[in-house]
Amino acid sequence: MRRGSVILAAAGVLILLGPEGAGARVDCPPSPSASTAPAAILVVGRHLGEPDPAGMFAVTVRELAGSPVPGSMVVVDFSGCDDLRLCQEQAPGEIVDCASHTVRGFTGADGVARFVITGAARNLRGGAGAGAGCARIYADGVMLGSATVAVPDENGAVAAPGVEVTDMVSFLADLAGGAYLGRSDFDGDGIVDVRDLSTLLRMLGTGASSESCRSSGLCP
């Protein structure tokens, strides 16, 4: 009886299932007010197999007192971004789940989880898409915030994968369309305008997103 009580108590301290099925640690649960998460995410391509560093972002997980939470599972949930396709293979340390449309990673000793997420959009000359804040960010099942998702590889073209000139045609359709579509807000300022065109041209120039996914391809 005593042994069973100890086991149950330990289980209660270690884990509490959150909305994404990730373990929410009740000994030092993440605090949304003390943690930091990006308000905008850039889903990028690759060059020579390496993810474009322009897409780097970090999520810092802290408990209410401000101490970092190491080993926290951070989940970036893209299920609300219906015009985005993730690559089936992400950067080392990142776990993609095509079925749930999520990418997961873990914080280090400093409480920081770092990501560079690769993928492409479904934008064929101004098609429907998500607006602001379509991605939700969780740590141990606790929602830290939401983020707008921009995707320079606008059309995910199989014949010309990666960020290339045909993506500009799709972007210009979004620019002229009038409705706010997060996939084309490359600078994350809440407006799709000529400054985003400048960002897209710069990414074309660097070539750091000139390739799409590796041989595993895009999620369905």
How confident is the model at residue 160, as a pLDDT? 65
The encoded tokens of residue 38 equal 């990006």
Residues 6+ apart with CB under 8 A from 92: none
How confident is the model at residue 170, as a pLDDT? 92
CA-to-CA dists, residue 168 to 75, 175, 201, angstroms: 31, 10, 8
Amino acid making up residue 162: G
Q: Look at strands 50-51 and 46-47 and give their pairing.
A: antiparallel
Give per-residue pLDDT as tens, 118-156: 999 988 777 789 999 999 999 999 999 999 999 999 988
- 203, 171 in Cβ contact below 8 A? no
DSSP string, 72-100: PEEEEE-TT-TTEEEBSS-STT-EEETTT
Angle between helices 194-206 and 165-177 (to 10 degrees): 170
Residue matched to tokens 């120039």 = 205
State pTM to two decimals: 0.86
The encoded tokens of residue 170 equal 């799709």
Residues 6+ apart with CB under 8 A from 30: 24, 61, 62, 63, 69, 72, 139, 140, 142, 144
How confident is the model at residue 8, as a pLDDT? 35
Q: Look at strands 142-150 and 40-42 and give their pairing.
A: parallel
How far apart are alpha carbons 75 and 98 in whole angstroms? 13
The encoded tokens of residue 112 equal 């920081």
Q: With a cut of 70, which residues of the chain have pLDDT below it?
A: 1-27, 158-160
Q: Look at strands 102-106 and 135-139 and give their pairing.
A: unpaired
How confident is the model at residue 9, as a pLDDT? 39
How confident is the model at residue 15, as a pLDDT? 38
Helix (H) or strand (E) holding 145: strand 142-150
For the chain, what are the domain ranges?
17-206
Q: Look at strands 135-139 and 73-77 and give their pairing.
A: antiparallel
How confident is the model at residue 3, as a pLDDT? 43
